[in-house]
Amino acid sequence: MDLTLRPELENFIQQEILAGNYASPEEAIEAALNLLQAKNATDLLAAELRGQIDVAAAQLDRGEGLDGESVLANLRAKLQAAREDR
């Protein structure tokens, strides 16, 4: 694959190499692509979480939610039971 980069990007890569951050243009571009992959994964997770939040908000609007105190009491009871089983 041959790439043509804008001069300012080529200069940036060269500065990164001169600064010792990367050994070659290929290494710098690989690092950039790794960051792009991580961003895409983060964007996907964020979209999934927004969907889950929308579902939860709709459930709360329908009165299907639990109050926080009940949830905490239930979790404390489960934790206590787990400790007693040891």
User: Domain residues of the chain, as ranges?
Assistant: 7-85
CA 62, 68, 69, 71: dihedral to nearest 10 degrees? 90
**Contacts (Cβ under 8 Å, ≥6 apart) of 29:** 3, 13
**What is the pLDDT confidence band of residue 20, given thresholds at 50, 70 and 90?**
very high
- The lowest-confidence range among 27-36, 40-49, 52-61, 62-71 is 62-71
| pTM of this structure | 0.64
Closest CA to 27 of 19, 82, 54, 48: 19
The arithmetic mean of pLDDT across residues 34-51, rounded, is 98
